Amino acid sequence: MGDTIAGVSTSRYRCTACGNLTRFDVTTSRRTRAYHHYSVGGDLQIEDLEVLSETIEDVACRWCGTGGSVIEMSPEDAAAIAGDPAAGADAAPDGVPVVPPL
């Protein structure tokens, strides 16, 4: 299972070609600063990782493989998809199917 990395973009995407909302290949360039702490035995532990800059180079749909049809969702649309009641989740954003949880 994937990890959540602090300080990394949390953009939500939608593929307008196939409707995918959950699986994307995201190519990112990231510049970081980190504290490297080595044990006496030489084992490395990375602490205090700070993202200094981040550039998203490409986003491709994992379902249909296209990158040209992937759009970044607005925070309001993403909140509605996530079921945030404060964002008016009862109304589906334009063209985005809201699938009820299983």
Residue 56 lies inside a defined structural domain of this protein: yes
Residue 50 lies inside a defined structural domain of this protein: yes
Q: What pLDDT, in 10s, does the model give residues 69-101?
A: 999 988 888 788 777 555 444 444 445 444 444
Residue 96 lies inside a defined structural domain of this protein: no
Rounded to whole angstroms, the Cα distance separating 49 from 51 reads 7
Q: Which residues pair with 60 in a beta bridge?
A: 25
| pLDDT at site 92 | 43
| pLDDT at site 82 | 72
Residue 42 lies inside a defined structural domain of this protein: yes
| pLDDT at site 99 | 45
| pLDDT at site 55 | 92
Number of domains in the chain: 1
Residue 22 lies inside a defined structural domain of this protein: yes
Q: Which domain holds residue 25?
A: 13-83
> How far is CA 35 from each of CA 40, 41, 45, 50, rounded to the nearest angstrom?
16, 17, 8, 9
Q: What pLDDT, in 10s, does the model give residues 21-64?
A: 999 999 999 999 999 999 999 999 999 999 999 999 999 999 99
**In 3-state terms, what secondary structure has residue 85?**
helix
